[in-house]
Amino acid sequence: MAIVFERPKSLTNVTTHYCPGCTHGIIHRLIAEVMDELDIAGKTIGIAPVGCSVFAYNYFNCDMVQAAHGRAPAVATGLKRALPDQVIFSYQGDGDLASIGTAEIVHAAHRGENITVIFVNNAIYGMTGGQMAPTSLLEQKTTTSPYGRQEAQTGKPIRMSEMLATLDSTALISRVSVHNAANVLKAKKMIKQAFIAQQKGLGFSMVEVLSTCPTNWGLSPIEALKWLEGNMIPYYPLKDFKVPEEVK
Amino acid sequence: MAEKILMKGNEALAEAAVAAGCRYFFGYPITPQNEVPEYMSKRLPELKGTFVQAESEVAAINMVYGAASAGVRCMTSSSSPGISLKQEGISYMVGSQLPCVVVNMMRGGPGLGTIQPSQGDYFQATKGGGHGDYKLLVLAPSSIQEMVNLTMEAFDLAEKYRNPVMILGDGMLGQMMEPVIIEPKEPALYDKSWATTGTEGKRKPNVVNSLFIQAEECEKHNINLQEKFLQMEQNEVRYETLYEDAEYFLVGYGTTARIMRTVVNMARAQGLSVGLIRPITLFPFPHVAFDRVASHAKGFLVVEMSAGQMVEDVRLAVNGRQPVAFHGRTGGMAPEPKHILAELIKLMGEVK
Amino acid sequence: MFDHRVTVFVGPYGSGKTELSLNVVQFLAPQYHQIAIVDLDIVKPYFRAREFRTKLIHRDIRVILPQGELQHADMPSVSAEVFTVFHNPDLKVIMDVGGDDAGAVALGQYKAQFEKIDHEVLFVINTRRPFSQTADHLIEMKERIEWRSRLPITALVANTNLGAETTKETILEGYAVAQEVSKRTGLPIAFVAIDRRLHQDVKHIIKEPLFLVDRQMLPPWERNIEE
């Protein structure tokens, strides 16, 4: 009997802690598939953030470093400078990258560090229990915006990809989503291009992946995917802000 | 560079790091330690090493965290306010058992304080500094040559214990010039099988991590760490005593100890029985130096460029056996020999 | 020596410009009715000429440095009073500039003024300093300083020393490198600076004028002991 579907070698054989319907699992799988296809697991060092994906070091079958909250791009910088021939990626959520770690992400991008950042944006703090993130949408109810996010008090949601794309030193910036099969395939293609960009020494690459949080959004997995599509994509348009010709 | 050259403390420290095999430096400008990053920015490219001026001290220590994860010798330096910013990263490095060298050329605080020298960060350096139960090995040189020697040794000690080592200097030591000899040496070889350098398909993945979510696991981890700190206390205590048979002892480290040498000579010229105890490791603190003189000592005068920090450790070491007096200057002022001598004579009068 | 109205000391970082400036201004003070030292050091935070202000003022030496508490700050500020140097033709001036091209840049703003006055720019050499040990290093630094300061260097000062550990050999070895720099650049050696205690050892060997230095830039444990 032919095998048509199996666990990528770059994922460990454990059950993840992610809630049913959470799309972190899909994104992990896409990265692992790319690592398999490029045959780079043996030379890859991944960086786990603080956030729901803090345990990512248990799931990727490669060397992993756990970083302090928001500091993954600085840790990636140190690793890449010491190991320029290895592949370094950070996996960061929106609290990590778009709030506490803004200085680190902006300056890793500004220096054009030859690293790959997978930015998982689910518009909420998952790990700590559903607090408002800088990426939470206006009127979105969270445990720290119980009346819905109000512009007068908290401004409008931050768009990291648009911001980082303005930096001349960035090589690849793209926003993708994993709310349906077609987009999952597109997301994988872009993640692969980001890793190739690093292998070709083109500089800083970041793929922002819109993701769901059924538990903290209070929605079923299907409803969560629909909410992402109906609410997040209009504010966070899926777009290749910058993709170098060399990786297309 | 085996001949004697005239170097500023900061430059000598940087070259010593290079001589010890450090090729990765991450820092952020702050007075009075700017010569360290400036020197490294000139020197490391000559050696195909890496200098990165980070966007902040927070980023710099995390770059060190990344480079240390790769198993390379790396360093960051700063001065008091910048060291406060590095504390998060230092705590993570201890928790993840990563070696590195952190330099603090102390200046007066609190807050922005002054750019003049101080010893006000003793507590921060020796009692942990960041969150959690931990210690750094803290080395306190008192001359530029000693700073060179201790910096080179610091890299070995960091790898031996897989723990950050701090060089605790002050602005005066960083800025003054003295002739030094710096002889490069081959780094001692320590096990680096824990480093995250890529499995190359030949081993199971390594994980650098300080998260132990189960309390039992985290306690086990803490017990292991404490065991290392205990070993440091057993193996790494360093101090210098002048005139061990003296009745009274001045106690100080770093720049202050240099000033106190002058006072010891002044006092002995007046026929006073005065010696000096100079801790070189501040953690582990040299309790033994005080035990050795306990049977004949009559009193101790601790002098610091602070409102009184190391004096607490001296009191613990003396443990009530003799009186311990204190003289301190703060805010960037250095204690003057004549004032120290006056305090010493006052102590002698009180004891008799 | 010092026969121009304004003497400017430039050179690599830590080559001894401040120590020389302090010594020279005190040496010249008795001969001049009006004399000033200008602290233009925007680079180093400690051991600056400004720390000797009181002592110098006692000797009728005008001290031109940043005003008030700014003199203790680590920001690269220069005093507006510096313009006196250019506008008072009776004022003898010793100017202490910060090290390397990074320090010399502070001179660039006075280019037009320097062109109108009688001055010399002396490049101080201590070959026992890092990045200063060979003629190649020194000539490269000389060119960088000239470019950033926008002032041509007019002569060299051989100032090789190891602080308190200086010996006759140290001085002669540095003197030889200074001679090589002199030959390759065509710049004369204005004088050789030596620790006063070594005067007898080298006075018959060196043909250039000697300037005797008493070390003043001392750490706290070597200062004020007798007071």
Q: Chain A within 8 Å of B47 (Cβ-Cβ)?
A: no
The answer to whether residue C39 is domain-embedded is yes
| Predicted pLDDT of residue B103 | 98
For residues A203-213, average pLDDT: 98
- Please indicate whether, in this complex, the C-beta atoms of C220 and B259 are within 8 angstroms of each other: yes
- Please indicate whether, in this complex, the C-beta atoms of C219 and B262 are within 8 angstroms of each other: no
Q: How confident is the model at residue A235 (pLDDT cuts 50, 70, 90)?
A: very high
User: Does the pLDDT at position A58 exceed 50?
Assistant: yes
**CA B308 to centroid of chain Cα atoms:** 17
Q: How confident is the model at residue C218 (pLDDT cuts 50, 70, 90)?
A: confident
Tell me what the pLDDT averaged over chain A comes to. Answer: 97
- Contact criterion met (CB below 8 Å) for C187 and C153: yes
- Please indicate whether, in this complex, the C-beta atoms of A107 and B59 are within 8 angstroms of each other: yes
For residues C62-74, average pLDDT: 74
Among candidates B171, B262, B266 on the partner chain, residue whose Cβ is nearest the Cβ of C46? B171
Q: Report the candidate in A74, A39, A50 with the shortest Cα–Cα distance to residue B85.
A: A74
Q: What are the chain B neighbours of A54 within 8 Å (beta carbons)?
A: 211
Q: Which residue does chain B place closest to C132, by CA atoms? A: B5
Q: Report the candidate in A209, A183, A179 with the shortest Cα–Cα distance to residue A97.
A: A209
- Please indicate whether, in this complex, the C-beta atoms of B199 and A63 are within 8 angstroms of each other: yes
Q: How confident is the model at residue C78 (pLDDT cuts 50, 70, 90)?
A: confident
* C162-201 burial: b if 16+ Cβ within 10 Å, else e: bbeebeeebbbbbbebbbebbeebebebbbbbbbeebeee
The answer to whether residue C89 is domain-embedded is yes
Among candidates A44, A57, A111 on the partner chain, residue whose Cβ is nearest the Cβ of B198? A44
**What is the domain count for chain A?**
1
- Please indicate whether, in this complex, the C-beta atoms of A43 and B198 are within 8 angstroms of each other: yes
The answer to whether residue C222 is domain-embedded is no
Q: How confident is the model at residue C54 (pLDDT cuts 50, 70, 90)?
A: confident
| Predicted pLDDT of residue C139 | 98
Q: How confident is the model at residue C49 (pLDDT cuts 50, 70, 90)?
A: confident
User: Does the pLDDT at position B84 exceed 50?
Assistant: yes
Dist. CA C177–CA C217, nearest whole Å: 25
CATH number for the domain harbouring residue C114: 3.40.50.300
Residue of C132, C221, C222, C226 best to disrupt the B interface, most CBs of B under 10 A: C221
* A47-86 burial: b if 16+ Cβ within 10 Å, else e: bbbbbbbbbbbebbbbbbbbbbbbbbbbbbbbbbbbbeeb
Q: What are the chain A neighbours of B48 within 8 Å (beta carbons)?
A: none
- Please indicate whether, in this complex, the C-beta atoms of A77 and B199 are within 8 angstroms of each other: no
The answer to whether residue A18 is domain-embedded is no
- Please indicate whether, in this complex, the C-beta atoms of B8 and C224 are within 8 angstroms of each other: no
Q: Which domain holds residue A118?
A: 24-247
Query: Are B13 and B156 within one domain?
Result: yes
| Predicted pLDDT of residue C160 | 97
Q: Which residue does chain C place closest to B4, by CA atoms? A: C128
- Please indicate whether, in this complex, the C-beta atoms of B64 and A45 are within 8 angstroms of each other: no
User: Does the pLDDT at position A210 exceed 70?
Assistant: yes
The answer to whether residue C127 is domain-embedded is yes
pLDDT tens digit sequence for B306-351: 999 999 999 999 999 999 999 999 999 999 999 999 999 999 998 8
Q: What are the chain C neighbours of B35 within 8 Å (beta carbons)?
A: 13
- Please indicate whether, in this complex, the C-beta atoms of B6 and C128 are within 8 angstroms of each other: yes
- Please indicate whether, in this complex, the C-beta atoms of B70 and A82 are within 8 angstroms of each other: yes
pLDDT tens digit sequence for A96-132: 999 999 999 999 999 999 999 999 999 999 889 899 9
pLDDT tens digit sequence for B134-154: 999 999 999 999 999 999 999
pLDDT tens digit sequence for B100-118: 999 999 999 999 999 999 9
| Predicted pLDDT of residue B91 | 98
Q: Chain C within 8 Å of B175 (Cβ-Cβ)?
A: yes
| Predicted pLDDT of residue C50 | 77
User: Does the pLDDT at position C95 exceed 80?
Assistant: yes
Chains A and C touch, using 3 or more CB pairs below 8 Å: no
Q: How confident is the model at residue C65 (pLDDT cuts 50, 70, 90)?
A: confident
- Please indicate whether, in this complex, the C-beta atoms of C131 and B177 are within 8 angstroms of each other: no
Query: Are B137 and B36 within one domain?
Result: yes
The answer to whether residue A13 is domain-embedded is no
Q: What are the chain B neighbours of C45 within 8 Å (beta carbons)?
A: 31-32, 115, 171, 175
CATH number for the domain harbouring residue B347: 3.40.50.920
SS3 C68: helix
Hey, how many other C-beta atoms are within 10 angstroms of the C-beta on C120?
17
Alpha-carbon distance A84 to nearest alpha carbon in chain B (angstroms): 11
Q: Chain A within 8 Å of B54 (Cβ-Cβ)?
A: yes
Q: Which domain holds residue C140?
A: 6-217
Q: What are the chain B neighbours of C50 within 8 Å (beta carbons)?
A: none
Last residue of a domain, one of B189, B216, B235: B235
**What is the domain count for chain B?**
2
Q: How confident is the model at residue C227 (pLDDT cuts 50, 70, 90)?
A: very low
For residues C52-72, average pLDDT: 82
Q: Which residue does chain A place closest to B210, by CA atoms? A: A66
- Please indicate whether, in this complex, the C-beta atoms of B66 and A42 are within 8 angstroms of each other: no
- Contact criterion met (CB below 8 Å) for B181 and B145: yes
Among candidates B32, B177, B261 on the partner chain, residue whose Cβ is nearest the Cβ of C14? B177
Among candidates B58, B65, B206 on the partner chain, residue whose Cβ is nearest the Cβ of A78? B65
**What is the domain count for chain C?**
1
Alpha-carbon distance A126 to nearest alpha carbon in chain B (angstroms): 17
| Predicted pLDDT of residue C69 | 65
User: Does the pLDDT at position A34 exceed 80?
Assistant: yes
Query: Are B247 and B225 within one domain?
Result: no
- C41 strand-pairing partners: none
Q: What are the chain B neighbours of A42 within 8 Å (beta carbons)?
A: 198-202
Query: Are B198 and B246 within one domain?
Result: no
Q: Report the candidate in B33, B39, B78 with the shortest Cα–Cα distance to residue B60.
A: B78
The answer to whether residue A10 is domain-embedded is no
The answer to whether residue C224 is domain-embedded is no
CATH number for the domain harbouring residue A66: 3.40.50.970
Q: Report the candidate in C41, C31, C163, C154 with the shortest Cα–Cα distance to residue C99.
A: C41
Among candidates C73, C162, C224 on the partner chain, residue whose Cβ is nearest the Cβ of B179? C162
User: Does the pLDDT at position A146 exceed 90?
Assistant: yes
pLDDT tens digit sequence for B209-235: 999 999 999 999 999 999 999 999 999
| Predicted pLDDT of residue C76 | 67
Among candidates A42, A67, A75 on the partner chain, residue whose Cβ is nearest the Cβ of B199? A42
The answer to whether residue C1 is domain-embedded is no
- Contact criterion met (CB below 8 Å) for B97 and B162: yes
- The tokens describing C136, both together, are 């190649």
Q: Which domain holds residue B10?
A: 5-235
- Please indicate whether, in this complex, the C-beta atoms of C46 and B4 are within 8 angstroms of each other: no
For residues C116-121, average pLDDT: 96
Q: How confident is the model at residue C52 (pLDDT cuts 50, 70, 90)?
A: confident
ipTM: 0.96
| Predicted pLDDT of residue C225 | 47
Residue of B177, B181, B264, B341 best to disrupt the C interface, most CBs of C under 10 A: B177
pLDDT tens digit sequence for C146-200: 999 999 999 999 999 999 899 999 999 999 999 999 999 999 999 999 999 999 9
Residues 48-107 of C with CB under 8 A from B: 72-74
User: Does the pLDDT at position C47 exceed 90?
Assistant: no
Alpha-carbon distance B104 to nearest alpha carbon in chain A (angstroms): 20
Last residue of a domain, one of B186, B206, B235: B235
Chain B, chain C: beta-carbon pairs less than 8 Å apart: 78
The answer to whether residue A15 is domain-embedded is no
Q: What are the chain B neighbours of A102 within 8 Å (beta carbons)?
A: none
Query: Are B267 and B201 within one domain?
Result: no
Q: How confident is the model at residue C51 (pLDDT cuts 50, 70, 90)?
A: confident
| Predicted pLDDT of residue A21 | 94
* B174-192 burial: b if 16+ Cβ within 10 Å, else e: bbbbbbbebeeeeeeeeee
| HEC letters along chain B | CCCCEEEEHHHHHHHHHHHCCCCEEEECCCCCCCHHHHHHHHHHHHCCCEEEECCCHHHHHHHHHHHHHCCCCEEEEECHHHHHHHHHHHHHHHHCCCCEEEEEEEECCCCCCCCCECCCCHHHHHCCCCCCCCCCEEECCCCHHHHHHHHHHHHHHHHHHCCEEEEEEEHHHHHCEEEECCCCCCCCCCCCCCCCCCCCCCCCCCEECCCCCCHHHHHHHHHHHHHHHHHHHHHCCCEEEECCCCCEEEECCHHHHHHHHHHHHHHHHCCCCEEEEEECEEECCCHHHHHHCCCCCCEEEEEECCCCCHHHHHHHHHCCCCCEEEEECCCCCCCCHHHHHHHHHHHHHHHC
The answer to whether residue C227 is domain-embedded is no
Q: Chain A within 8 Å of B68 (Cβ-Cβ)?
A: yes
